[in-house]
Structure 1
Amino acid sequence: MPPSSSPTRTGAISRVDGYFSDGGFQKDLSDWVAYPTESQKPGSGPELMRYLEEAIRPRLQTAGFTCEIFENPVQGGGPLLVGERIEDPALTTILTYGHGDVVRGQVDQWRAGLAPFELTEEGDRLYGRGSADNKGQHLINIAALEAVLAERGHLGFNVRIVIEMSEETGSAGLAEFFRAQKDRLAADVLIASDGPRLQPDTPTLFMGSRGGVNFDLVLNLRDGAHHSGNWGGLLADPAMILAHALATICDRRGQIQIPEWRPDSLTDTVRAALDGLPIESENGPQVDVNWGEESLTPAERAFGWNSFAVLAMQSGVPEAPVNAISGHAKATCQLRYVVGTDPEDIIPALRRHLDRHRFQEIEIVPDPGGPFKATRLDPNHPWVKFVAGSLTRTAGKAPHILPNLAGSLPNDCFADILGLPTVWIPHSYRGCSQHAPNEHVLKPVCRDALGLMAGLFWDLADKPET
C-alpha cells in the first residue's frame, strides 16, 4: 500500500491496527515461534542463525534497512544481527533491540493441546515459546516502524537495531561485541521492549533492570552413598548441612542477612516513584504479604531491593530415592540486585558470610555466564518524559513508570558501554508464564502495544531538541 497523500499519526496507528485485525500479526508470530531457537540447548547454533537469516533479515531489508549478521565474539555464543536505516545523519537516531533466542521448550510439560513451537490461540491468549519473550515484542516494534513508513513514506528519524541470539544464556558476547562496534551502534537513545507490564491494561515504562548473579552452593563430603540403616547417625548428611547454610542467608520470611547484600539506594526519590504502583493482578499469583523485607511495600521489594532465591536443590536421586545417605548436595541460587550493591563483592561477601557461620566446606561455584549488572535511569530524564507523553497521548492515560525492572536484562551494555539513556516499553504481562511451560501473550496487550509504538515512532520525527 502506497504512503497516504495526507499522512497522519492516526493513519499510522490505523494501519498497524489493521495488521492485527486482519491476522497479519498472529500469522507472523506463528512463523517466528516455529523456529526452535533454544540457545540453552547444545547444538542450537544452526537454528539461531536460521532465525536471523530467514525471519529477521528479509523483513528488515524490505523496510529499507541494511543488515549484517556477525558471529559471536565469545565461543559458544549465538550470532548477532545489526540493521540500520539512516535517513539523514542530522536526525535523531534510536537504537532498538530484541532477542530471538528462547529458553528450553520443556516440551513434555506443556498443557494438553499446547506445544512450545506451535502458536495456539485460545480466547485472548496466544501460546508458544517466545511469544512473550521476546519474539512477540520485537515483532510489535518492527511492525510499528513499518506502519509509520507505510503511512508517511519515511520515518523522519534514523534507526539501528540489534537482534541477539544469546540472551537466555546471559547475553554471552554482547558486551564484547558492543565494545568492538561502539561507533557503529551510536545513537541518541535506546527504545526497546522486553519484560512485562505491571498491569495488562496500562502501558509501562522502565529505565533499567535489577542485576542478576547465579551460583551453585556445593557440598561434597564423600564418594557415593551409604546405607541409612547402617550409617544413619554416623555420617554427616550434606543436604541437612546445606539447608542450614541456606537458612543463614535469609531468615524465615526471606529477609537477607548478609549486610553487603542489603542495598543503600532505596532513596526517597525512588520510593516516591514506586509509591502506589500496583503489583498484583487477576492473571498472576497472589503476593505473600509475610515474605520479603518487612519494612518495605511490595513495589519497593520488587523494584527497589534485593532478593535471594533457591532455584533448585538436589541430594541423592530425587526421581528414585533409596535408603541411603548421600555424599553430595547442591543448591542453585540467585541474587537479584539493584543499583547500590557492589557486584564485585557479591560472591566474596557470601564466602565471608559462610565462613563466619562455619560452613567453610561449602564451595561456591559462580555461573560461567557471568552476571547481569544493575542499571537505573532517573524517571525525570527528558527521554522518559517524551516517551511517557507519547504513550499517554495514544492510550488516553499515563503509563506506569519504574526506575528499573524487577528482572534482569543486559541493559548495562547499552547504558554503560554505549552510554545511552535507556527506555524500555514492555509488551507482555506478569502472568505470561515466561520461562515456564504454557508461555503466552494476551491479544489485547499486543494490539494495544502496536498502536502505542506506532504513535511513538510517529512522534519521534517531531521530537524537539533537548
Structure 2
Amino acid sequence: MNNRNELMKKSASFVDDGGFFTELAALVRHRTVSTNTANRLELNSYLTDKIAPKLEQLGFVTRIHPEWNGGANSFLIGRRIEDPELPTMLCYGHADVVDGHEGQWDKNRDPFILSAEGERWYGRGSADNKGQHLVNLKALEFLLEAHGSLGFNTVFLFESGEEIGSPDLAEFAAAHQEELAADVFIASDGPRLSAEAPTIFLGARGGVSFELTADLRSESYHSGNWGGLIRNPATTLAAAIGVLVDGHGRIKVPGLLPPSLPAAVRTALEGLQVGTGPNDPNMDTGWGDPELTPAERVYGWNALEVLAMGAADPQNPVNAIPGTASAILQLRFVVGTEVQDLQAKVQRALDEHGFPMVKATVLTSFPASRIEPDDPWVCWAAESLRESTGLPTTILPNIGGSLPNDVFESILGLPTLWIPHSYPGCLQHAPNEHLLEPIARQGLQLMCGLYYDLGIRGNSPFEPKVLTTHA
C-alpha cells in the first residue's frame, strides 16, 4: 500500500469491520472521571496501561508525570523523532471525562460500556475525548504500517485534567518546552460546525465567570410592613445585571467587548449556518447583536450570560423581603478583549449607574486564543481535508466554548489546528453522550490523508530551520 487512496480505504474498512468500535470500547471502560479524586488511580492507569503502550508500539518514547508537582493533573509525553530535519507535529488528547451520570441514560445504558444503536455509539468519553484521540492514533498507525515511517516527527501530549480546567497544564508546557517543541499543532476535540461539515477551528473563546452580590442586610423583613421602604436586593440585582447586558442579550458596557470583528474573521464566517442540527434548540430572533450574523455572534464576538441567580427560597417563598441576592455571570470573549481588569470595569459600570451596593467578584478566568484564518498551515490543512472528503472545509476562527489552546498558541508559539471528530448534538457532558459512526469513519480517513500529506507527500508549509554559523 503506497498511495493516499488505498490508505483511506483501509481506514474506512477498519471502522466498517468493527475494529474501531472494539478498541474504543476498551478505552471507554476506564472510568476516568477527573471530578472525583477517588479516580486518580484509574486516570493514571489509562495513561500507563492504554495510551503509553499504544504509543510505544508506534515507536514513541514515552514519559509519564503522575500528579505533576504534587497537583491534580498527570501528563504523558510521547516522542517519535525520525529526523530533526523533518517537520514536527504536536498532538494532544485528554484522558479524563466528566461524571458518568449513571442511571440517567436512556434504556438503562451503562455509561462506561460502549453500546451501538444505529449510527450512534453511546458511552462516556466516546466523543469527548477518547474517540477523538483514538482516531488520530489509528491514523498514525495505518500510515506507519503502509510506509514504515511517517515522514515527520510526532510529539503527543496527554493530560488527565481537561474537564477540571487543565490544572498546571500551562506550567507543565512552559517547563517542558524543549520536549514539546514542534512546527505545528494538530489535535482533535470539540465539535464540528455540523455533523456533515469537516471542520478546522483555530482556537477557543476565553471565559471569565464573576459573581454579583447584593448583600444588604442579615435579616428578611415583612413585605407588607416594609415593602416600598427598604431596598429589595433581588430587584436591585436584576436592574444591576441590566446595566451590563440588556433584556435582548446585547452587551452594554464597551469594555466587555472586543474592539472590532477582524476582516479575516468576518470573511471566514461569511455564509456559515449555525444551529441547524436536528437536536439543536431553536435560535431566538432578536437575541444578541442585530448587526452580527449568528455565526459571528458565537465564533467572532463576545457573549455575557447569566448562569445562575437567586434570592431567598424560590421553592418556598414567604411574605418577606430577602436580605441578599446573588448571580453568577460568565463573559465568553474572543481575542482582543481586555479582561485583565474586568472586575474593576464591571464595578465601575455598576457604581456609575447607581448600584454601588452590588459587588462584583471575579471567580475563574481562562484566556482566548486563535491564529489567523489565512495562515498557510490553515490553507494547507483545509485543502487536504477537501481532497479526502470531496467536501468544502469549514474554517472557524475559534469554537464558542473553551479548550486550552492558549497553551499551544501562546506558550509554545505554534500555529494551532483543531480537527474535530464530533458534532454539536453529541451530548458530551450529559447523559447519552455518543460518537457518530460516520464521523469516526470520515475522521479516520481525513486524518490518514492529512498525515500522508504532511509526511509522505511533503506538501505542507514547513520550512526547515536555517542554522546560522559564525566564524
Residue number in structure 1 paired with 2:325: 329
Does 2:212 match 1:220? no
Which stretch shows the higher mean deviation, 73-82 or 121-130?
73-82
Q: Structure 1 residues 57 and 322, CA, compared in 2 at 3 Å: closer, same or farther?
A: farther
Q: Structure 1 residues 187 and 293, CA, compared in 2 at 3 Å: closer, same or farther?
A: same
Matches within 5 A, 1:51-200: 51-73=46-68, 76-200=71-195
CA distance in 1, matches of 2:41, 2:234: 40
Displacement, 1:439?
1.9
TM-score by length of 1: 0.92
Deviations, residues 429-450 of structure 1 (Å, cap 9, x unaligned): 1112222332222111111101
Deviations, residues 254-292 of structure 1 (Å, cap 9, x unaligned): 000111112123023321111101213232222222111
Residue number in structure 2 paired with 1:440: 434
1:344 aligns to what SS in structure 2? coil
CA distance in 2, matches of 1:110, 1:363: 40
Displacement, 1:399?
0.4
CA distance in 1, matches of 2:413, 2:38: 34
Does 2:301 match 1:305? yes
**Is the CA contact (8 Å cut-off) linking 1:427 and 1:445 kept in structure 2?**
yes
**Is the CA contact (8 Å cut-off) linking 1:13 and 1:147 kept in structure 2?**
no
Q: Structure 1 residues 51 and 364, CA, compared in 2 at 3 Å: closer, same or farther?
A: farther
Amino acid paired to 1:145: L
Residue number in structure 2 paired with 1:340: 336
Displacement, 1:358?
2.9
Amino acid paired to 2:444: L
Unaligned stretches of 5+ in structure 2? 464-471
Matches within 5 A, 1:4-23: 6-23=1-18
Please point out which of 367, 371, 375 is paired with 1:373: 367
Does 2:360 match 1:356? no
2:276 aligns to what SS in structure 1? coil
Q: Percent identity?
A: 48
Deviations, residues 199-243 of structure 1 (Å, cap 9, x unaligned): 211200111111111222233334465666776666644333322
Q: Structure 1 residues 282 and 70, CA, compared in 2 at 3 Å: closer, same or farther?
A: same
Amino acid paired to 1:206: F
Q: CA RMSD in A?
A: 2.2
Please point out which of 265, 277, 290 is paired with 1:270: 265
Paired residues in the alignment total 459
Residue number in structure 2 paired with 1:453: 447
Does 2:410 match 1:413? no
Residue number in structure 2 paired with 1:426: 420
Which stretch shows the higher mean deviation, 213-222 or 448-457?
213-222
Amino acid paired to 1:351: Q
CA distance in 1, matches of 2:177, 2:236: 48
CA distance in 1, matches of 2:107, 2:401: 29
Amino acid paired to 1:187: A
TM-score by length of 2: 0.91
**Is the CA contact (8 Å cut-off) linking 2:90 and 2:186 kept in structure 1?**
yes
Q: Structure 1 residues 287 and 243, CA, compared in 2 at 3 Å: closer, same or farther?
A: same
Residue number in structure 2 paired with 1:3: none
**Is the CA contact (8 Å cut-off) linking 1:49 and 1:78 kept in structure 2?**
no
Matches within 5 A, 1:180-259: 180-223=175-218, 236-259=231-254
Q: Structure 1 residues 113 and 364, CA, compared in 2 at 3 Å: closer, same or farther?
A: same
